[in-house]
Structure 1
Amino acid sequence: MKDFINKLYRNHSLIYKALLFVCTTFLIVYLFPKSGKFKYNFERGKPWQSENLYAPFDFAIKKAEDEINSEKRSIESQAPLYFDEDETVKVTALDAYDIAFSNTFSDSLPRATLNKLKSSGKDVLENLYTLGLLSDTYTFGDDRIVEILSGNVKKRNTVYENLIEQEDLKSFIERKLSSEGLNTYASKFTSIFFDIVEPNLTYNKSFTEKALQDELNKISYTRGSVERGTLIISKGEVVEGDKFQKLKSLQSEYESQVWNEANYNWILFAYTLLVALALLMLLLFLRKYRIEVFDNNTKVTFIFFNVLLMVFITTLVVNYNSEYLYVVPLCMLPLVLKAFFDARLGMFTHVITVLLLGSIVPNSYEYMFLQILAGIVTILTVSELYKRANLFISVGQITLIYIVAYFAFFVIHEGSIETINWNTFLLFILCGLATLFVQPLIYAYEKMFGLVSDVSLLELSDTNTKLLKELSNVSPGTFHHSLNVANLAEASANEIGANAMLVRVGALYHDIGKMVNPNYFTENQSTGINPHDELSSKESARIITDHVINGIEIARKNNLPDRVIDFIRTHHGTSVVYYFYMKAKEMDKDIDSDLFRYPGPKPFSKETAILMMCDSVEAASKSLKNPTSTKIDAFVENIINKQIDEEQFLNANITFKEIQSIKKVLKHKLANIYHLRIEYPE
């Protein structure tokens, strides 16, 4: 049992990666839409590329969406409107009319005239309520059929133009009175009616909508059927019209039949295999080409998290409305990974993610082509992300690539630009704007995962940071040395295409361990007193080599990123403190050189190798007397060649050609530092 536990402990990192791999695989499969996939690809207006297609089973021909929408519009335009009639309003108005008429018209008029006037007014009122007076103004068409309800029972029907709106009430009364020859009394009747008339019709919206929905539910979404074995389309035929609709119907029916209960587990298993293979390729890439990332569980988790996040966002959009698919800023993935790692890892992960999404998005070939192209542009254009202008320029280029590629695909498919959907270009612009949020996202990731990006490196390179100000106060000579090394290292990194910002920051902090015993290092000995004179060679060597360990401790206390601490750890590699070793050897020829050796490790990247070379050259250059170009060239060659002979760069992915370029830079820079001039003849 103990051996088993020990074995688990020794392999806990691999076990964690296996669990991460399994969990990510199942989460991605869970997010994928649960529907089958039609095995044929076809496009309207394009020739059928596959063999003759016969119906594999009976299926109904579904109507085209435009056809269904046309039927819906027709039903909606002809659907009756329902109004509730309040019959008590008419009774109340007639009773009020009798009283109002008596109060308005004088008894001095002849009785026959009064009776005629009263009867005519009542006829107008009766006619008004028979037609119906609306309680509100509506925008329905005049020819719309209207059903009048009384207690939810249909009473009569008419058309909307026959109903009286309140704003038309005056003209209606005047028109009716005129037809009766009562224009003389129009003002009095108008006054009476406006006092007593109330609307008797109210629009019953809920009943109207329910009746409309009942009619819409009666729409048939199919027209005809295709029997099994019937030829649907022959090879080379153009996919259009009825053939296109049959293919769409077959595709829909096929996908619904494939994803049934019997096949559910098999399809899930197949999806799991595809996702697992894609993620396995990503792990193998890390294992072979980015072993330092593979060995760091936090970094592997970070990469898988970003892949999962992009799949999650894309599936959300696809499930909501696939028309908005290109709003998803997928290019943020390579941007983020390049900021924290490198371009190659960012591009590989981007391609893997696009391949995963290709199985769930519509027009998968077009989608993958556009996204991979945009990812390549992202990797090629974005450099020094901490510079805001670079990000804006890159986003502009990405958006342009999207637009141009989409335009090309559309013209290929349609043959013209007459029906192009310009709103899609707006989606690409929105995608570009969303990509600009990569910088706050990077900041959030730094806090969540403890990683470091170029943006953080820029902040750390500020010499006014607390730690560097302390270094300048406690060890001014070391601080000046670090600045010189930083300048040399940055120039060297730019020459060979390494991460200049990273190596500069590493150079600024590489000697912070000297703050523990600053006076034991020659650059800080301003009084001429050397405390090493009172120590043995072993003790002196221990103090010198301890500045690496002390530097790591100080860096950790000040929360410096691991990528910066790597420079502190490796800037001397496993070299020997040569001065004290030779001094001790004078006393004891058989003394062990390991007593004077730095703990290491050796540099394991271009950047750490650059720092080791620049640090050694800059420190030793102080001993040059009467420097000339020849002396400087030999001096640089001697120091770096010695490091090569000691195999200090064995673990760094740096070539001899790059080392030669670094030598050239160092020679040029040292010549400038010492202001060498040619000697003019007297």
Structure 2
Amino acid sequence: MKDIINKLYRNHSLIYKGILFVCTTFLIVYLFPKSGKFKYNFEKGKPWQSENLYAPFNFAIKKSDEEINKEKHDITANSTLYFDLDVLVEQKVNNLYKVSFYKTFNDSLSRKKMDVLYNVGQQVISELYEYGILNENYDYHPDRSVVLLDGRINVKEGIFDDLIKQDEVTTLIENVLVKNDLINYKTAYTSLFFDLIEPNLSYDKSFTESAIQEELNKITYARGRIEKETLIISKGEIIEGDKYQILKSLQSEYESQVWSKSNYKWILVAYTLLVALALLMLLLFLRKYRIEVFENNTKVTFIFFNIFLMIFITTLVVNYDSKFVYVVPICILPLIFKAFFDARLGLFSHVITVLLLGFIVPNSYEYMFLQIIAGIVTILTVSELYKRANLFISVGQITFIYIIAYFAFFVIHEGSIDTIKWEMFIWFILSGLATLFVQPLIYAYEKIFGLVSDVSLLELSDTNSKLLKELSNKAPGTFHHSLNVANLAEASANEIGANAMLVRVGALYHDIGKMKNPTYFTENQSTGINPHDELSSKESARIIVNHVIDGIEIAKKNNLPDRLIDFIRTHHGTSVVYYFYMEEKKNFPDISTEDFSYPGPKPFSKETAILMMCDSIEAASKSLKEPTSTKIDAFVENIIDKQIEQGQFLNANITFKEIQSIKKVLKHKLANIYHLRIEYPE
């Protein structure tokens, strides 16, 4: 049992990766659309490339979205409008009219004239309330059919033009008076009816919408049927018109039938195998070409999390409305991976993600082509993400590539640009703008996953930062030494293609531990007094060695990233404090090197190896007397060869060829520092 536990503990990193791999696979498969895949690929306006296709089963021909939308529009536009009729209003107006009429017209008129005027007034009321007066002005077509309801009982039917709007009342009164040759009484009648007339019709919105919905529910989504074994399309035949719609119907029916039958589990297994295969390729890539990333579970989790996040966001957008799929800024993915890792890993992960998204999005080939091309452009154009101008230029180029590629695909599909969907360009522009969100996202990831990007490195390289300012005040000699080492290390990293920004910042902070006892280091001894004279060799060596441990403590206290703390840990490797070791050996010849050695570990990357070389060269160069090119060459060769003999670079992925290149850079830089010139003959 104990052996099993020990074995599990030794392999806990691989076990974690296995669990992460399985969980990510199942989560992605869960997001996939619940349907099978039609085995034929076809495009409208293109020839049918496969063999003659016969109907594998009976299925209905589905109407196109345009046909269904047109039917819905026609039903909505031509539906009957329903108005509530208040039947009591007309009776109320008639009763008031009998009283108000005789108050308006004086008794001097003859009885016959009064009767004529009275009857004309009743005629006005009758015409006004034949259908009714609207309570407000509605903007509907005059020929739209209407129904008047009294408590949901159909009272009268007509058209909207029959209904009287409030601003039409005066016109109707005038028309009746003209017809009866009583236009001279217009003012009297207008004054009379101004206070009498009330609207008696109000629009019943809920009943109208209910009636429309009832009609919409009656729409059939199919227009015909194809029997089994019927020839659908022949090889080479152009896919257009009804042929295209029949193929789309077969595709939809096939996918729904395949998924709903007993092979549901088999389809799930197939999806799982494909997703697992894609993610396995990513893990194998990391194991073969990025072993330092593969061995770091946090980084592997970070990569898998971002791939899943992009698939999750895209799935949400597709489920909401697939036309917005290009708004999702997929190009953020290679940007993030390039910021934290490198371009090759960023591009490989991007391609894997886009291949998985092909199962989710419509027009998968077109989508994958656009996104892979955009990802390549992203990787090629963004060289230094911490420079804001570079990001904006790259976003502009990505958007331009999207537009060009979409335009080309559209012309291929449709054969012209007459019906091009210009709003798609808006989605591409929005996607480009959303890509700018990468900056705050990188900051968030640095805090969550403890990673460090070039953006943070640029901030940390500022010599006015709190920690470096403290170093310059407490240990000015060490600060100057760190600046020189940073310059040497940056030049060396550029020569062999290492991360120059990372090694420069690592060099600036590698000796911050010397702030604790600055006067015990020669570069800070400005008074000529050496405190080591009062200490034993062992005590002096311990103080010198402890600057590494003190530096780690200070770095952690100031929340420096682990990638920078690695430079503090490794810049002396497991080397010996040689001067004090030899001093002690004079008195004790059999003394062990253990008390005089740095704790390590040895450098384990190109960048940490570069720092060890540059630190040793810069520190020792102060002892050069009357330097010449020959002396400097021998000096550099001797120090670095000694480090190689001690095995300090065994754990670093640096080659002898790269070490030779670094030597050349250091020789050239030291020659410039000491202002060496060609010796002219006398």
Query: Shared fold by TM > 0.5?
Result: yes
8 Å CA contact 2:331–2:378 kept in 1: the answer is yes
CA contact (8 A) 2:38 2:255 kept: yes
Listed as ranges, the gaps of 5+ residues in structure 2 are none
CA 1:2 to 1:662, structure 2 compared with 1: closer, same or farther past 3 Å? closer
Q: Which residue of 2 aligns with 1:21?
A: 21
Question: Once structures 1 and 2 are overlaid, which stretch shifts more, 387-396 or 428-437?
Answer: 387-396
- Matches of 1:375 and 1:638 in 2, distance apart? 46
1:510-659 to 2 correspondence within 5 Å? 510-585=510-585, 591-593=591-593, 595-659=595-659
CA distance in 1, matches of 2:469, 2:120: 104
Give CA-to-partner distance per residue, 1:374-423, whole Å, 9 cap, x none.
11221222122112112111211211221222222222222222222111
In structure 2, the partner of 1:138 is 138
**Aligned residue in 1 for 2:279:** 279
For 1:496, the aligned partner's letter is I
Alpha-carbon distance in structure 1 between the residues aligned to 2:654 and 2:401:
34
Partner of 1:307: 307
Letter in 2 for 1:86: D
1:206-355 to structure 2, matched below 5 A, reads: 206-260=206-260, 262-355=262-355
Contact between 1:33 and 1:319, CA under 8 Å: does it hold in 2? no
Map 1:402-421 onto structure 2 (within 5 A).
Answer: 402-421=402-421
1:651 Cα shift? 2.7
**Aligned alpha-carbon RMSD (Å):** 2.0
Q: Is this contact kept in 1: 2:56–2:229, CA < 8 A?
A: yes
Q: Give the match for residue 375 of structure 2.
A: 375
Give 1:631's aligned amino acid.
K
1: CA distance between counterparts of 2:247 and 2:171? Answer: 60
What is the rounded CA distance, in whole Å, between the counterparts of 2:650 and 2:410 in structure 1? 53
SS at match of 1:224: strand
Q: CA deviation at 1:622?
A: 0.5
TM-score by length of 1: 0.96
Q: Which runs of 5+ in 1 are unaligned?
A: none
- Secondary structure class of the residue paired with 1:175: helix
Deviation by residue 1:269-303 (Cα, 9 ceiling, x = unmatched): 22222222222222222223222222222222222
Q: Deviations over 1:19-59 (max 9, x none)?
A: 22222222222222222221111110011111111111000
Q: 1:524-569: CA deviations, max 9, x gaps?
A: 2223333444545444444333322332232222221110011111
Counterpart mapping for 1:490-505 below 5 A: 490-505=490-505
Q: In the alignment, what sits opposite 1:459?
A: 459
| SS at 1:202 equivalent | strand
How many Å apart are 1:361 and its aligned residue? 0.8
Partner of 2:51: 51
Q: CA deviation at 1:517?
A: 3.2
Q: CA deviation at 1:153?
A: 1.6
What SS does the corresponding residue of 1:154 show, helix, strand or coil? strand
Which residue in the other structure is 1:61 paired with? Answer: 61
Residue 156 of structure 2 aligns to a residue in which SS? strand
- Residue 528 of structure 2 aligns with an amino acid whose one-letter code is G
Amino acid at match of 1:271: Y
TM-score, structure 2 length as denominator?
0.96
SS in 1 for 2:44: coil
Q: After alignment, is 590-599 or 483-492 more displaced?
A: 590-599
Task: Output the amino acid matched with 1:338.
Answer: K
SS of corresponding position for 1:158: strand
Mapped to 2, the partners of 1:346 and 1:599 lie a distance apart of 35
Which deviations, in whole Å up to 9, do the C-alpha atoms of 1:148-174 show, x marking residues without a partner?
A: 222212222111112211111111110
- Residue 589 (structure 1) shift: 5.7
Q: 2:389 and 2:416 mapped to 1: Cα distance?
A: 36
Q: Distance in 2 between matches of 1:273 and 1:218?
A: 43
**DSSP 3-state at the match of 1:57:** coil
Question: C-alpha offsets along residues 82-136 of structure 1, whole Å, 9 cap, x if unaligned?
Answer: 1121110100011111111110011110001101110111012111101321111
Aligned-pair CA distance for 1:582: 4.2
Distance, in Å, in 2 between the alignment partners of 1:8 and 1:500 is 39
Superimposed CA distance per residue, residues 216-238 of structure 1 (whole angstroms, 9 cap, x where no aligned partner): 22222111100111111111111
State percent identity of aligned pairs.
76
Within 1, Cα distance between the matches of 2:373 and 2:495? 29
1:166 to 2:166 alignment: yes
Q: SS where residue 259 of structure 1 aligns?
A: helix
Partners of 1:604 and 1:651 within 8 A in 2: yes
Q: Which moved more, 1:504-513 or 1:12-21?
A: 12-21
Counterpart code for 1:116: V
Q: CA shift at 1:177, angstroms?
A: 1.1
Alpha-carbon distance between aligned partners in 2 of 1:576 and 1:362, rounded to the nearest angstrom: 64
Rounded to whole Å, the distance in 2 between the matches of 1:77 and 1:597 is 89
> For 1:495-525, what per-residue CA distance to the aligned partner results, in whole angstroms no more than 9, with x for missing partners?
3332121111100111122233333322122
Cα distance, 1:475–1:370 mapped onto 2, change above 3 Å: same
The AA in structure 2 aligned to 1:302 is: F
Q: Does 1:669 align with 2:665?
A: no
Any conservation in 2 of the 1:512–1:554 contact (CA below 8 Å)? Answer: yes
Task: For residues 459-508 of structure 1, give each alpha carbon's deviation from its aligned partner in whole angstroms, at most 9, with x where no partner exists.
Answer: 22122333222322332211111111011111222233321211111001
Match of 1:393 in 2: 393
Secondary structure, aligned partner of 1:60: strand
2:124 and 2:172 in contact (8 A); partners too:
no
User: What is the distance in 1 between the residues matched to 2:128 and 2:469?
Assistant: 93
Q: CA deviation at 1:600?
A: 2.4
CA distance in 1, matches of 2:186, 2:134: 22
Amino acid in structure 2 at the alignment position of 1:296: N
Distance 2:19 2:233 in 1: 48
Per-residue CA deviations over 1:169-194 (Å, capped at 9, x if unaligned) read 11111011100111111111111112
One-letter amino acid of the counterpart of residue 253, structure 2: E
Q: Which stretch shifts more, 593-602 or 61-70?
A: 593-602
Alpha-carbon shift at residue 322 of structure 1 (Å): 0.7
How many residue pairs get aligned? The number is 682
Alpha-carbon displacement from aligned partner over 1:47-78 (angstroms, at most 9, x marks no partner)? 11111111110001111221222222222332
SS of structure 2 residue aligned to 1:130: coil
Counterpart amino acid of residue 673 in structure 2: I
